[in-house]
Amino acid sequence: MFTGLIEEVGHVRRVDKVRTGLQRLEVEARVVTDGLQLGDSVNINGACQTVVQVGTDRFSVESVSETLQRTTLGSLRVGDPVNLERALRASDRLGGHMVLGHVDGVGHLRRLDEGSGQWTLAVEPPTELRRYVAEKGSIAIDGISLTVAQVLADEVFTVAIIPHTFNHTHLSHAAVGDPVNLEVDVVARYVERLLTSDPNAPRKRLELEDLRRLGYSED
């Protein structure tokens, strides 16, 4: 589990296609390598990966075909900046929100505007994720814990980025059109599952009566 609070922006130093459906990625980093051990989990641009090799200023992970198909890790190139976060320890503060590192889909940046000391980021999610995006809800964009500001009529959603987040993540290198890994709030997934006993049944909207039936009150 992660918090979505990026510890460091690392850089890709090597990309090896070991064989079909398996990629080995070497990332240069100085903060997250402190205390890092083989088998530990590291969130790379929102995707939880297992460390297979570690040094003083770099580490390596291997990505299987499922990860390469569902995330942007397969398109990384040498020199690319990546958001990094080590797995949450039981004694750590949960400053962001619960981020599992399980990417739900890839969206695209549609706008990145600066104004009044902050940035507004507009993202177009894939169609199958739109029902999970709610105003004031949590979402992880490339591993960054963010709050949805608005959901617009064309299903594009916006988030507000403060200067600290902009300057301490890879968003300072972002450009319109870039693909981004998205992880929706896991609570939305479980609520949907509770409301739909048959996973193949048509989806329906979450209504107030549904929440009452699940035990929530209006108090």
Judgement on whether residues 159 and 119 belong to the same structural domain of the protein: yes
pLDDT at 35: 94
Is residue 159 domain-resident?
yes
Is residue 24 domain-resident?
yes
φ, ψ for residue 187, nearest 5 deg? -60, -40
Is residue 170 domain-resident?
yes
Judgement on whether residues 31 and 70 belong to the same structural domain of the protein: yes
Q: Which of 73-82, 184-193, 206-215 has the lowest mean pLDDT?
A: 206-215
pTM for this predicted structure? 0.86
The answer, yes or no, to whether residue 151 has pLDDT greater than 80, is yes
Taking the C-alpha atoms of residue 195 and residue 130, their distance in angstroms, rounded to an integer, is 17
Burial of 202 (0-12, 13-18, 19+ CB in 10 A): exposed
The answer, yes or no, to whether residue 216 has pLDDT greater than 90, is no
β-strands 118-124, 105-115: how paired? antiparallel
- For residue 26, what are the domain limits? 8-86
Residue 23, token pair as written in the block: 């990629």
Judgement on whether residues 113 and 170 belong to the same structural domain of the protein: yes
Split at pLDDT 50, 70, 90, the class of 160 is: very high
Q: What is the largest CA-CA distance in the chain?
A: 56
Q: What is the CATH number of the domain that holds 20?
A: 2.40.30.20
Mean pLDDT of 160-172: 95
pLDDT at 110: 96
**Whose CA is closest to 189, among 206, 177, 208, 207?**
206
End-to-end Cα distance, the chain: 31
Mean pLDDT of 129-141: 93
Is residue 110 domain-resident?
yes
Each residue's pLDDT tens digit, 20-72:
899 999 999 999 999 999 999 999 999 999 999 999 999 999 999 999 999 99
The answer, yes or no, to whether residue 134 has pLDDT greater than 60, is yes
Mean pLDDT of 131-147: 94
